[in-house]
Amino acid sequence: MALLEVDGLSAFYGHLRALSDISLTVEAGELVSIIGANGAGKTTCLRALSGLIATTGTIRFDGQNLAGLSPQDIVGLGVVHCPEGRKLFPDMTVGENLSLGAFLRSDRAAIRDDLERVNELFPILHERREQKAGTLSGGEQQMLAIGRALMCRPRILLLDEPSFGIAPIIVDRIFEVIQELNAGGLTTLLVEQNVSLALDVCSRAYVLESGRVVLAGSSADIAADKAVRETYLGM
């Protein structure tokens, strides 16, 4: 049984169907990507898995059906969403934003350990711990958003567009961290518009178009697909 199993998932904004019959799996320890153009439904897919929008179909995490659970309950199970656009609290400090990531936890010693780990991964966050989050650069804000998600101690990290609007040198560091976390056992489902980058770091990928999965397979097979090469890789 996969850690995350999605079968026949459709999602709605009011009466508008945004996803249609999505099925995917993520095994424990995998790094899997969802790729596609703007408006394909990538972010909507993560929002659906997080319980943020109305859905039909089945979402199982470690065998448990997530239907009807609140977003807070889903986070409590270890399904943690690092959203597109960071969604930080700009008037709160870096340290306060990180502390909010551990809001549902009471294991103080482990929280301290996780904070130390986040500061090791992103030393700039420790340097800026008293600085308001809204004054950070885009790349620093993305580091903070990932750090806040890690403070939830995720069993699976849903990571949405971590390279968006960030300088290439910072993107490189963020993706080094993503790979380092995965090598340490963190299961990750990555949404990324930079298809080449996503396929480089992930073992498998799903291609979304107009709210539907149109292609799935190993990253090597996806990268070799003629339509993917022409549409997303410029080849």
pLDDT digits (tens, 9 = 90+) for 109-151: 999 999 999 999 999 999 999 999 999 999 999 999 999 999 9
pLDDT digits (tens, 9 = 90+) for 151-188: 999 999 999 999 998 999 999 999 999 999 999 999 99
pLDDT, residue 235, reads 54
Long-range contacts of 87-92 (CB under 8 A, 24+ apart): 87/145, 88/133, 88/134, 88/141, 88/144, 88/145, 88/148, 89/133, 90/132, 90/133, 90/134, 91/132, 91/133, 91/134, 92/132, 92/133
Closest CA relative to residue 119, chosen from 90, 93, 150, 92: 150
pLDDT digits (tens, 9 = 90+) for 64-118: 999 889 999 999 999 999 999 889 999 999 999 999 999 999 999 999 999 999 9
Confirm if 16 and 210 have CB atoms less than 8 A apart. Answer: no
- Confidence (pTM): 0.94
